[in-house]
């Protein structure tokens, strides 16, 4: 039997990069999937349906609490429950603190940290109603542990995400709800490549930061998500799992 047969998965940022890979892989494992994204792109939806699995798309700005509430409610009304959530949507900033605008700071924090809070707030309410509980995975970063210049808002949001994950895990440990976080290294996704200089020189620089001397693939993060969301990780909650090609050990 597939690991997520008859389960319902809710994935933000599900139309590109890690979110897209996670949605497709969990569908292959039997889950019905609600894809949540601000981008109206039906590629993920179509790919999942080709796997013979049910899926729907819900357009949502994760920084808007009411939209997140509506997205969770849509998943439950469509599929009947909410068993797995991946809070994955995020953006990055690119300016030093003394030059960063208030608008840039607020936008990054509202999406990257506010979106996690709003997602968990309504996901937990639903999961507490269910005798089966659920599993929540929040997408952090290696920048949940370290820092680089120019990404003050991003690093702050990702550090904060780990604390929020731990608190949620403590509050829900006796309600059969597990909450964990993943810390990807640099992954070859649109978020990374669209916010970076182009060319082989930049790519080589990014690869050199990892002990394995390469970028990660979205599927490599998605498989870690499947582990944390599955019964294979039944005694795991409040954890931060680096999947970073050895970035943090150097």
Mean pLDDT of 229-233: 98
**Token pair in block for residue 103:** 């608008």
Strand ranges for 52-116 from DSSP E? 55-59, 84-87
In a domain, 58, yes or no: yes
pLDDT at 30: 96
User: What residues are annotated to the active site?
Assistant: 154
How many domains would you assign to the chain? 1
Asked whether residue 232 is assigned to any structural domain, the reply reads yes
Whether this model's pTM surpasses 0.85: yes
In-domain check, residue 61: yes
159 found inside a domain: yes
Q: What is the pLDDT of residues 29-53, one digit of tens each?
A: 999 999 999 999 899 999 999 988 9
Domain span at residue 93?
Answer: 8-187+218-243
In a domain, 249, yes or no: no
- Per-residue pLDDT band for 201 (boundaries 50, 70, 90) equals confident
Q: So what's the pLDDT on residue 202?
A: 76
212, part of any domain: no
- Residue 85 belongs to some domain of the structure: yes
Considering the domain boundaries, does residue 146 fall inside one? yes
Q: Which of 82, 91, 92 is nearest to 123 (CA)?
A: 82
- Cβ-proximal residues to 40 (8 Å cutoff; 6+ apart), any chain: 57, 59
Which token pair is 113?
Answer: 């940290």
What's the CATH code of the domain at 19?
3.40.50.720
Closest CA to 212 of 242, 182, 180: 242
How high is the pLDDT of residue 192?
67
pLDDT at 189: 78
């Amino acid at each position: 039997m597939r690991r997520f047969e008859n389960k319902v998965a809710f994935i933000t940022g599900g139309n590109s990069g890690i979110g897209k890979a996670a949605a497709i892989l969990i569908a292959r494992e039997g889950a019905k999937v609600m894809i949540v994204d601000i981008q109206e792109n039906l590629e993920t939806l179509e790919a999942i349906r080709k796997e013979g699995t049910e899926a729907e798309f819900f357009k949502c700005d994760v920084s808007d609490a009411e939209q997140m509430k509506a997205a969770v409610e849509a998943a439950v009304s469509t599929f009947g429950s909410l068993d797995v959530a991946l809070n994955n949507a995020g953006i990055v900033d690119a300016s030093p603190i003394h030059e960063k605008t208030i608008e840039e700071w607020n936008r990054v924090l509202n999406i990257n940290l506010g979106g996690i809070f709003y997602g968990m707030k309504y996901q937990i309410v639903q999961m507490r109603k269910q005798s089966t509980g659920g599993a929540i995975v929040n997408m952090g970063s290696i920048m949940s542990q370290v820092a680089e210049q120019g990404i003050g808002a991003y690093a702050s949001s990702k550090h904060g995400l780990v604390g929020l994950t731990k608190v949620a895990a403590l509050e829900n440990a006796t309600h059969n709800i597990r909450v964990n976080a993943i810390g990807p290294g640099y992954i070859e996704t649109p978020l990374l490549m669209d916010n970076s200089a182009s060319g082989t020189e930049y790519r080589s620089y990014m690869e050199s930061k990892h002990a394995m001397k390469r970028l990660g693939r979205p599927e490599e993060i998605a498989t870690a998500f499947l582990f944390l969301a599955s019964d294979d990780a039944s005694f795991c909650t409040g954890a931060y799992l680096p999947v970073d090609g050895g970035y943090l050990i150097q």
